[in-house]
Chains A and B, each alone.
Chain A
Amino acid sequence: MGDLLLFINFYLIPGIVLGSIYALGAIGVSMVFGILRFAHFAHGDMMTLGAFIAFSAIGWLGVGPILALPFAMIGTIVVTLGIDRVFYKPLREKSTIIVVIASFGVALMLRSLIMVVWGVNTETYSSGISMPLVFLDSFRIAERHIWMMAITIAAMLGIHWTLSKTRIGKAMRAVSDSPELSRLAGISTEKVVQATWIIGAGLAAIGGVFIAWDSQIHANAGWDLILPIFAAAILGGIGKAYGAMAGGMVIGIAEEVSSYPWLGDGPLLSPGYKTGIAFAIMVIMLIWRPSGLFRGRVY
């Protein structure tokens, strides 16, 4: 196998898949930051929740991961709207930093419930090894990866359509631009907030299912996701949905490609330090251009 094919099959494609997962989380984080003005630290745990709901749907109904997606999305959306109603809404008039602290509390509660309901073992959706599809003799890609990329692209197109064509989507951008003017224009902030959670939670659930489908899921997975998805949101520019997509992709690909043997025979960066890439990119952005690639807001 040529070096290029090796690179594509074992580094680039996994990178795109990982990037899709990060992007799906980062869009929600970025929109919540832009519209509700706070960093939502329970977002990773929403992804874990989605993954486990799908796990149950697969176990009980015998469906595949794709058909389990709607269950995961609806379940995660319902729980998230409930969380907003009970834990975030009462703090709406207070300083947003109080809501950030509350989101840490919510993260603990979500994780704890996941552990009580689904246990603390690492779970997978299927036990068998599926053979990858092979194109042109040597270009191999797993069927699930094709599905994941297609669903991610569909989700992104859906987001684009919502934000640019629907009234609520435009209102979301308006509130993100200027909450004060939105209020004076009579835009219902609560409706916009709910729409934000519905989109954010739905995408988070998809991302969570992808993690479990691609490898495995553990109740603590959400914590490990927080750093890369925030890094992706900052890289793209806070409040910029398209920026978050690009940011997620860049970080996912960078993480995977960093362990390619660019120099010599060994991996350039020990795979144990993959997660460090997200952090390094974030630090560089914070120093060089805190508004992100897409010129989002800096708070």
Chain B
Amino acid sequence: MSVLELVDVTAGYGEGADILHNVSLKLDPGEIVSIVGPNGAGKSTAMKAIFGLLVMHGGKITMGSHDITGMPPEEVVGKGVGFVPQTDNVFPNLSVEENLEMGAFTYDGPLEGRLKNVYELFPPLLEKRNQAAGTLSGGQRQMVAMGRALMLEPQVLMLDEPTAGLSPKYAQEIFELVIQVNASGTPVLMVEQNARQALAISHRGYVLVDGQNRHEGSGPELIADREVAEMFLGG
């Protein structure tokens, strides 16, 4: 069974026109899946739909056997979806460790083990644990943001354009972090602008255009696809 699945989702903001039209996609255990596509294709909108931030006009969203269609964000988090938004994804005035602790706010058990796991995954955070997150570099902030989302040991980690605004070198570092997180056993669903790099590390990918599914396939397949390449991979 898929960890997360969208079936024929049609949705939009409030009274406005729908942005997603019959979008279907799924994430299987152990996978990294990327959603790519040109600007305004509805990539980030799809993530917001999962988080119940859109008005659904059709279709359904499931996690395993649970229907999470239209659930408010807090409950979606409770069902095991860790989400790292594109911007403002750390608490700048809280220390690194406090950021991580806030990720586990709903978890009442001891935090030591989970903190240890995150520090093992992202060693640079250990030495900066008492530093305010707002003072860190872009890459380290992404570590804090992902670490925060991982504190609940989620079933799925969702990343909204984790490399937006970063130089290619930093972007590559982030993608390596994604691989590490995935290797530790968490399936990852991410939306990316850097399509080529993202697909290169993904098991599968979806290409969305104008709010509709256009292509899907394995990462290498999509990179090799002539139409996909012409459309937005820059030739």
CB-CB under 8 A from B102, the residues of chain A are 170-171, 174, 182, 185, 187
Q: Which of A51-71 contact B (CB under 8 A)?
A: none
CA distance A154 to B52 in the complex (A): 44
CA distance A167 to B202 in the complex (A): 37
Determine whether the beta carbon of B94 is less than 8 Å from that of A177: yes
Q: Does B93 have its Cβ within 8 Å of any Cβ on chain A?
A: yes
Smallest CB gap from B93: residue in A:
A177
Q: Does B220 have its Cβ within 8 Å of any Cβ on chain A?
A: no
Q: Which of A173, A180, A188 contacts B94 (CB 8 A)?
A: A173
How many positions in chain A have a CB within 8 Å of any CB in the partner chain? 17
Q: Does B43 have its Cβ within 8 Å of any Cβ on chain A?
A: no
**Number of contacts between A and B (CB, 8 Å)?**
58
* Chain B residues touching A, range: 20 to 34
Determine whether the beta carbon of A181 is less than 8 Å from that of B91: yes
Q: Which of B94, B101, B105 contacts A186 (CB 8 A)?
A: B105
CB-CB under 8 A from A177, the residues of chain B are 91-94
Determine whether the beta carbon of A183 is less than 8 Å from that of B105: no
Q: Does B216 have its Cβ within 8 Å of any Cβ on chain A?
A: no
B3-11, B58-66, B81-89, B180-188: which lies at the interface: B81-89
Q: Does B207 have its Cβ within 8 Å of any Cβ on chain A?
A: no
Determine whether the beta carbon of A183 is less than 8 Å from that of B74: yes
Determine whether the beta carbon of A181 is less than 8 Å from that of B85: yes
CB-CB under 8 A from B93, the residues of chain A are 173, 176-177
Name the distance in Å between B52's Cβ and chain A's nearest Cβ.
11
A155-181 Cβ-contact flags toward B at 8 Å (1 or 0): 000000000000100110110111011
Q: Which of B94-122 contact A (CB under 8 A)?
A: 94, 98, 101-103, 105-106
Tell me which of A178, A182, A185 has the highest count of chain B C-beta atoms within 10 A of its own C-beta.
Answer: A185
Name the distance in Å between A163's Cβ and chain B's nearest Cβ.
10
Tell me which of B51, B78, B93 has the highest count of chain A C-beta atoms within 10 A of its own C-beta.
Answer: B93
Name the distance in Å between A55's Cβ and chain B's nearest Cβ.
39
Determine whether the beta carbon of B98 is less than 8 Å from that of A170: yes
CA distance A174 to B148 in the complex (A): 12
Q: Does B73 have its Cβ within 8 Å of any Cβ on chain A?
A: yes
Q: Which of B137-193 contact A (CB under 8 A)?
A: 148-149, 152
Q: Which of A167, A181, A186, A187 contacts B88 (CB 8 A)?
A: A181
Q: Does A184 have its Cβ within 8 Å of any Cβ on chain B?
A: yes
Determine whether the beta carbon of B85 is less than 8 Å from that of A185: no
CB-CB under 8 A from A185, the residues of chain B are 77, 102-103, 105, 148-149
CB-CB under 8 A from A180, the residues of chain B are 85, 88
Smallest CB gap from A182: residue in B:
B102
Name the distance in Å between A82's Cβ and chain B's nearest Cβ.
25
Asked whether A178 and B91 contact (CB < 8 A) given A167-B101, A184-B85, A186-B77, the answer is: yes
Determine whether the beta carbon of B105 is less than 8 Å from that of A187: yes
CA distance A176 to B98 in the complex (A): 14
A178-217 Cβ-contact flags toward B at 8 Å (1 or 0): 1011111111100000000000000000000000000000
Asked whether A183 and B94 contact (CB < 8 A) given A170-B102, A171-B102, A188-B105, the answer is: no
Name the distance in Å between B33's Cβ and chain A's nearest Cβ.
20
Determine whether the beta carbon of A186 is less than 8 Å from that of B106: yes
Q: Which of A167, A173, A176, A184 contacts B73 (CB 8 A)?
A: A184
Name the distance in Å between B13's Cβ and chain A's nearest Cβ.
16
Name the distance in Å between A166's Cβ and chain B's nearest Cβ.
11
Tell me which of A170, A176, A186, A187 has the highest count of chain B C-beta atoms within 10 A of its own C-beta.
Answer: A186
CA distance A176 to B94 in the complex (A): 10
CB-CB under 8 A from A183, the residues of chain B are 73-74
Smallest CB gap from B72: residue in A:
A183
CB-CB under 8 A from B51, the residues of chain A are 184
CB-CB under 8 A from B88, the residues of chain A are 178, 180-181
Tell me which of A171, A176, A177, A182 has the highest count of chain B C-beta atoms within 10 A of its own C-beta.
Answer: A177
Determine whether the beta carbon of A181 is less than 8 Å from that of B89: yes
Name the distance in Å between A146's Cβ and chain B's nearest Cβ.
34
> Which A residues fall within an 8 A CB radius of B?
167, 170-171, 173-174, 176-178, 180-188
Q: A171-B102, A180-B88 are in contact. List 13 more A-B contacts (CB 8 A).
A: A170-B98, A174-B94, A177-B92, A181-B88, A181-B90, A182-B91, A183-B73, A184-B51, A185-B103, A185-B105, A186-B74, A187-B106, A188-B106
22 A-B residue pairs with Cβ-Cβ distance under 8 Å, sorted by A, are A167-B105, A173-B93, A173-B94, A174-B98, A176-B93, A177-B93, A177-B94, A178-B88, A178-B91, A181-B88, A181-B89, A181-B90, A183-B74, A184-B73, A184-B77, A185-B77, A185-B103, A185-B105, A185-B149, A186-B74, A186-B105, A187-B105
